[in-house]
Amino acid sequence: MPKAHPKGMFPQHFEFIDRSPLVMHPISAEHEVDQAWHEAALVGAQPKSGVSAANPSEEWDEYVKSRANPKQAYGDKKIPVHLVPPAASMYLAMAFKEGARKYGAYNWRENDVEAMTYVGAALRHIMQYLDGEDIDPDTGEAEVPHLAAAGACLAILADATEGDNLIDNRPPIGPASLIIQEKQL
């Protein structure tokens, strides 16, 4: 369900004649800008001086850049960790807490990690989820969701890949990627 914003998604850039709430349906950054212009016009908002509606996307970008905090350009080059859904982070924390209880915290950093051990575990958790089982019964009272456990397996693979302690024991390269690319519906 979209959220209503009393002054729109970009309140600092519009002067509102009428204080009606705006409802945004973000699809992409460009869509958000076009949507903001469109919906602002619907409620009688006028862009502040320095912004025209002739080419909203380009002019909006220029306007925002001209008024941006100097740290903005530096921050925009960083990994956008704020885009990770908090629910996913909470799921991972649940799975890692249970893993720490069973095997010890950060156990995957103490020894090399075989890729196929974690690929297999992730796939099993996904299959169990797909078949309708939400909670991993092996986690007892912790009630860790299968999606959390699968995510933890993938996170460990990423950590081992970047930490250079991954044993890449995947099978030889196969045709799956080509099939997926060629057989798109």
List the chain domain ranges.
4-75, 83-171
pTM of the model as a whole: 0.63
pLDDT at 11 over 50: no
130: amino acid identity, one letter: L
Calculate the alpha carbon distances from 173 to 33, 55, 137, 156, 177 in Å: 42, 47, 34, 22, 10
For the ranges 1-10, 81-90, 100-109, 134-143, which has the lowest average pLDDT?
A: 1-10
Average pLDDT over residues 127-146: 97
Q: Which of 41, 33, 40 is nearest to 63 (CA)?
A: 33
Confidence of residue 182 (pLDDT cuts 50, 70, 90): very high
